[in-house]
Chains A and B, each alone.
Chain A
Amino acid sequence: MAILEVDKVTKRFGGLEALRDVDLRLESGELVGLIGPNGAGKSTLFDVVSGVTRPTSGKVFFQGEDITGMKPHRIAEKGLARSFQATRLFGNLSVLKNIQLACHIPARTNIAGDVFRLPSVRQRESEAQQKAIDIVKLGGLEVVSDELAKNLPHGYQRALGVAIALAVEPKLLCLDEPVTGMNAEETRFMMGFIEKIRKEGITILLVEHHMKVVMDICDRITVLNFGRKIAEGKPDEIQGNKDVIEAYLGRPEDVT
């Protein structure tokens, strides 16, 4: 069964058509890359899938259930997590706390129980903390776990963004340009982190501009240009695709 199915999604912002009739299918356990030039609609598609914006038309199914127009927190509860393109963190909270906050959906209790610390809440919180520590270790963030998120170097901040999404215990993880602005060493580390997440059996949808990363780790790649899907296939198929090359570099006659 497809874990995510995007069915003819169109999104217009006033006169601008950010997405047009886009279809996308992810099978459970896949790592699918989503690429395209700037402004192709990749982040808009992420926003639609995660519920941040509503599509103008079309539907999104997650594990067979229609989630179109559902609120982001409801979609997160169902097991779909995302990271953001621009670094989004709880800046004035510690790294561990950032992750711990995301570790709660499977066992949410009422606010009164929370405030008066009923035994079940205490039990749940110590589990959440243990889980957060595991994720800190998986993400290689041990050494900065007590720092405030806003004081971290860029590489750590990006890793923390992914770690927070991972803490939601997603079945599908959507990563929006995780290696943006990273040096070679940081990029290698992030690729390793993504591989580790994949080994946990989590399906991943990856938006990325860094072609080497995309070609190296993705099973399949979908290419968007001006809001439309122009190609889909295995990395080597995409590399030789005429339309894709044209979208990125332009046609030969345009140059002359």
Chain B
Amino acid sequence: MLKIMNRRGLNWVIPTVIGGSLLLALPWFGRAYYTHIFILIFLNIILAMGYRLLYVTGLVSFCHVTFYAIGAYTSAILAMKLGLPFGICFLGGGIAAAAAAAFLILVTSKARGAYFFLISFSFLGVMNTVFMQWRSVTGGASGITSIPPIISGFDTVVNNYYIFFAFTILTIFIMYLLDRSRFGSELMAIGEAEDLAEVIGIDVLRHRMVAAAIGALFAGFAGSLFAHYESFIAPTSFPMWTTIYILSWCVIGGVRKFWGPIVGAVLMTAISEYGRMMGAMHAIFYAAVLLAVIMAMPNGIVGLVDTLRTRFGRRQYLGGDTKLGAGPPPVVDE
């Protein structure tokens, strides 16, 4: 306990406790509308964090929303057709999405850049057609209605809020462990220089498959929660632009940084909801914020904070003298 009480520890503990308490108390103070917005924010955080995993390895996909949709549909179908309990539907949704993502990466193993982007777009198109046309299972355009709640008899917005909150914290925790592990660094390394990553012994294809599968697993879980929370899903619940929004959250927050997509998702979902009150001007307002952030902070909001900390914080060296090249060590300029 004393260890936590040093200054470094306190820097973290106090904001976390205050923030956590506010979030826990929120449903009791705000209107139900705000509680609902926060549930959306939690979902978006989970989607953005999963998207980041594949993004840092250098693959920009257009079909993250499809993994979310696969999770939602699988979970809803398991519940409606087979009458399975929520826990199993939830797991099934996540696993189906993860399997789809791993498969997509496997079959596109040679595609990069625009080619991968377009293939993932095709995958989205194919899955949308499946959702629309396989009417006996997916309900076609009218979708699936009266999906049972997450916990029956416990189906209030406030209770759902706590379920989403807990699951989001769990996701952030797992993603955090992943990010600071060697595996997390290896994913970044692949994005930096794929050919170098290969010759130092990183299995690039396997890493990308695992990264995509973990990202899609959580997207699938989020989809399952969403389906049972809303009790209704249809192809229109998963518009294809969603992936572009996810990408914009990642970029605005700073996709290279762990907290970037989280900050981006929170900020932009809030702005987007606020913008709704402006009616037709809403999209222009969103675009203006996006442009302003990209131009002012090319490394995203969290990236900028980090750069400032590096510039003004203390730096450490291992010691030793300059043996190669002349002059003082170079200045970090991100």
Is B204 among interface residues, defined by CB-CB distance under 8 A? Answer: yes
Does B324 lie within 8 Å of A189, measured CB to CB? Answer: yes
Closest to B328 in A: A143
Interface code B175-209, partner A: CB below 8 Å = 1, 0 otherwise?
A: 00110011111101100110111111111100000
Name the distance in Å between A168's Cβ and chain B's nearest Cβ: 6
Question: Given the interface contacts A114-B182, A147-B329, does A93 sit within 8 Å of B189 by beta carbon?
Answer: yes
Given A50-B199, A76-B199, A155-B324, are A116 and B177 also a contact pair (CB < 8 Å)?
Answer: yes
Which of B98-114 touch A at CB < 8 Å?
none
User: Nearest Cβ in chain B — how far from A26, in angstroms?
Assistant: 18
Contacts of A140 in B (CB 8 A): 320, 323-324
Q: Which residues of A contact B329 (CB under 8 A)?
A: 143-144, 147
Q: Which of A17-25, A35-43, A99-107, A199-207 contacts B (4 or more CB under 8 A)?
A: A99-107
Chain B at the A interface: mostly helix, strand, loop or mixed?
loop
Establish whether residues B185 and A93, one from each chain, have CB atoms under 8 Å apart when the complex forms. Answer: yes
Interface size class of B (residues with CB under 8 A): 35 or more
B74 to chain A, nearest CB (A): 23
A103: nearest chain-B partner, CB-CB: B200
A133 CA to B193 CA in the complex, in Å?
A: 22
User: From residue B81, how far is it (CB to closest CB) to chain A in Å?
Assistant: 32
Q: How far is the CA of A151 from the CA of B331 in the complex (A)?
A: 7
Q: How far is the CA of A21 from the CA of B324 in the complex (A)?
A: 40
How far does the alpha carbon of A56 sit from the alpha carbon of B31 in the complex, in Å?
Answer: 69
Q: How long is the Cα–Cα vector from A147 to B317 in the complex, in angstroms? A: 9
Determine if A62 is an interface residue (Cβ-Cβ < 8 Å).
no
Q: Say whether B324 contacts A151, CB under 8 Å.
A: no
Q: Are A146 and B334 in contact (CB under 8 A)?
A: no
Chain B residues with Cβ under 8 A from A88's Cβ? 193, 195-196
Distance (whole angstroms) from the CB of A101 to the closest CB of chain B: 5
| B330 within 8 Å of A (CB atoms) | yes
B315 within 8 A of A: yes
Chain B residues near A (Cβ < 8 Å): 174, 177-178, 181-186, 188-189, 192-193, 195-204, 210, 256, 315-326, 329-334
Q: A92-B192, A154-B325 are in contact. List 12 more A-B contacts (CB 8 A).
A: A72-B199, A90-B193, A91-B193, A101-B186, A101-B200, A111-B210, A115-B184, A121-B181, A143-B320, A147-B330, A164-B196, A189-B323
| Pairs A–B under 8 Å by Cβ, sample size 18 | A52-B198, A52-B199, A73-B203, A81-B200, A82-B199, A90-B196, A92-B256, A93-B185, A97-B185, A104-B201, A116-B177, A117-B177, A117-B181, A144-B330, A147-B332, A155-B324, A155-B325, A185-B326
The residues of A with any CB-CB pair to B shorter than 8 Å are 50-52, 71-73, 75-77, 81-82, 84, 88-93, 96-97, 101-102, 104-105, 108, 111, 114-117, 121, 125, 133, 136-137, 140-148, 151-156, 159, 164-165, 167-168, 185-186, 189-190
